[in-house]
Structure 1
Amino acid sequence: MEGTEKLSEIIWIAPEDFKTAMLILKNEWKFEGRGTYAEAEDLDDDEIDPDDDEYYEMVEYYGKEDGSSAEVYYSDYGKKEVSDIRFWMTVDDKEKQKFMAAFKELNPDWKPDEDSVLYDEDAPYKGFLYQKALGRFRFLMVLIIDTETTGLSGYPKDRVLEIGIAELEEGSVRPVYSEIIRYSDIAEFDRKYVNLDGSEGIWIYRNSDLRMEDTLNASKDVERVAAEVRAIVSGMEVTSYNVPFDLGKFLYHEPWNLRGIVERKIDIMKLATSKVYELCESDSLDDKGLQKRLLREREESYYPEKWMRPIDAYRALCPEDPMGLEGMRHRAIDDAVMEGWILKALQINNTDFLG
């Protein structure tokens, strides 16, 4: 099929990244054997000079199911002294073209650097492969999950009432999935519920347009919704605005069980907090009233780390309001879409989201 032929690109790993590369290989790649350098290069003994700078005592081989392979060259195998690591990263041409299109959209003024080793038009793609080899590859498509819950304590005390998933791909954000979850016993649950501040009743029912009747009349129970969510996110790059809350307190637990089946390296809240305060401190926000309020609230905060609310991060980083805040509800899918636009703004602002 046109545009899907496999490409194999060689990547040399810099010495400062040897340690990271070895950890990735040992933990995530399949060890396929070892051999002498002479065997690797098909050389006779009289062609080997141990005093040669390019002499290697031993070579280890690793592979992945997609056809990617790696070779680790040791100058002293007994001491585990690594001299060179080479990856052959296997991708398809469609993936390459997709990456380059997304890169050029986010970086329209980029030009090749004539002083760089990677000075051709494929330089961004080579960097993309390098990050992929080091296990820091971030899928072009990121799924953002938001939950509305009965409270803040998390599993097992609390439940997910609603879940929304948005998709950030090639500079655009769109809703992917949205469901209210049916619990037939929610009225009794609400009657007995006590919040962390001592107040009674489920907070979200009293502070959004989500009502108990919506929960009682929802078409799907939690087991079905959890199964559908797992099918959508399995193997994907997944994040949320507050990863320790949405994933750590809820979605890594029963019945969701997302731990181990999703890739997760981004925490939007941490990145947004750092970026927005950086803009505030340099007097760079267009909305000076917002800037003044955020700095004041941080100064007055009891907590040493004042995390940025998603609505404030959105207003600071997305002043053009791409999603249209007017009429927005405090609901899972609306919040997930908003958080997707925040993540896109962080990418455009060159925030290091590679972890």
Structure 2
Amino acid sequence: MTRIFVVDTETTGLDGVPAGDLVLDIGIVRADTVTGEVLPAYSKIVGYNVDDWDYAKRNAWIFGHSDLTLDDVRDGVPVSCVSEDVRTLLAGSIATAYNIPFDFGKFLRYRPWAVSCHLAPDIMVAAHNLVDGEYEFEDGSTSWPRLEKAYSQLCPTDPAGLNGVQKHRALSDAMAAAHVMLRLVNDGIYPREVTA
């Protein structure tokens, strides 16, 4: 299969559903590894009753580093509807993310999401072949590269139209990750065709 869904989530925290963290924004694009086309497939702000949230959720990192607001979440589409849409869209498909253990491992594999799809290789892991992370370890290896760094180094023509600024919104991050993936495909680092 040469059409791969690239998924990104913005959340209330880094620990995942088991720790009580929530998906607030989800973006999905469809990337064609042959034509190089990247198209938006799904984007929603997930709605919750934010009045019941504790201090940590109300002051989550995402609210200070993007244009997403508590009012956006209050007015968002109920999680039951969004999770059903996402399950339906991704059912049986091939999907990936820039950091699969985070998006899928901590969030999308759990209820209410319970996404069932075939996972392609992690874009972040593949990008690490060409892009160093910000931190160097004693053995000389580096941490995983942040999406913003991988995108700026591997996609200097800005095919996602970010204009030098990572918006930290799910759809724009999914677009950037998809273009990183396509660059890695063209460099022979990421598989052009992924089978289920």
Task: Assess same fold via TM > 0.5.
Answer: yes
Residue 107 (structure 2) pairs with residue 243 (structure 1): no
Aligned to 1:322: 159
SS of the aligned residue for 2:119 comes to coil
SS of the aligned residue for 1:164 comes to strand
How far has the Cα of 1:255 moved from its partner? 0.5
**Per-residue deviation, residues 180-215 of structure 1 (Å, max 9, x unmatched):** 01101x233142x27xxxxx8311112211000001
- The question of whether the paired residues in 1 share the 8 Å contact of 2:148 and 2:166 is answered with no
Structure 1 segments of 4 or more deviating over 6 A?
Answer: 300-303
Paired AA for residue 276 in structure 1: V
SS of the aligned residue for 2:6 comes to strand
- The question of whether the paired residues in 1 share the 8 Å contact of 2:124 and 2:144 is answered with yes
Partner Cα distance (1:342, 1:318) in 2? 7
- The question of whether the paired residues in 2 share the 8 Å contact of 1:275 and 1:351 is answered with no
**Are the structure 2 counterparts of residues 350 and 206 from structure 1 closer, same or farther at C-alpha, using a change threshold of 3 Å?**
same
- Which structure has more RCO (C-alpha within 8 Å, separation ≥ 6)? 2
SS of the aligned residue for 1:345 comes to helix
Of 122, 126, 150, the match for 1:313: 150
Residue 31 (structure 2) pairs with residue 168 (structure 1): yes
Partner Cα distance (2:91, 2:140) in 1? 36
Aligned to 1:257: 114
SS of the aligned residue for 2:173 comes to helix
Describe how 1:44-83 pairs up with structure 2 within 5 A.
none
Aligned to 1:270: 125
Residue 95 (structure 2) pairs with residue 229 (structure 1): no
Partner Cα distance (2:24, 2:12) in 1? 7
Partner Cα distance (1:158, 1:307) in 2? 23
Partner Cα distance (1:240, 1:228) in 2? 18
SS of the aligned residue for 2:127 comes to helix
How far has the Cα of 1:301 moved from its partner? 8.2
- The question of whether the paired residues in 1 share the 8 Å contact of 2:98 and 2:123 is answered with yes
Normalising by the residue count of structure 2, what TM-score does the alignment of the two structures yield?
Answer: 0.88
Greater Rg, structure 1 or structure 2?
1
**Are the structure 2 counterparts of residues 172 and 306 from structure 1 closer, same or farther at C-alpha, using a change threshold of 3 Å?**
same
Percent pairwise identity: 37
Aligned to 1:217: 75
Paired AA for residue 11 in structure 2: T
Aligned to 1:181: 46
Unaligned runs of 5+ in 2: none
Residue 191 (structure 2) pairs with residue 336 (structure 1): no
- The question of whether the paired residues in 2 share the 8 Å contact of 1:190 and 1:202 is answered with no
Partner Cα distance (1:201, 1:352) in 2? 37
Paired AA for residue 121 in structure 2: I
**Per-residue deviation, residues 263-322 of structure 1 (Å, max 9, x unmatched):** 113100100012224xxxxxxxxxxxxxxxx6xx44378996410000110111111111
Q: How many residues align?
A: 189
Describe how 1:118-129 pairs up with structure 2 within 5 A.
none
Partner Cα distance (2:113, 2:4) in 1? 19
RMSD over aligned Cα, in angstroms? Answer: 2.3
Normalising by the residue count of structure 1, what TM-score does the alignment of the two structures yield?
Answer: 0.50
- The question of whether the paired residues in 2 share the 8 Å contact of 1:230 and 1:256 is answered with yes
Partner Cα distance (1:180, 1:201) in 2? 17
SS of the aligned residue for 2:174 comes to helix
How far has the Cα of 1:328 moved from its partner? 5.3
**Are the structure 2 counterparts of residues 230 and 298 from structure 1 closer, same or farther at C-alpha, using a change threshold of 3 Å?**
same
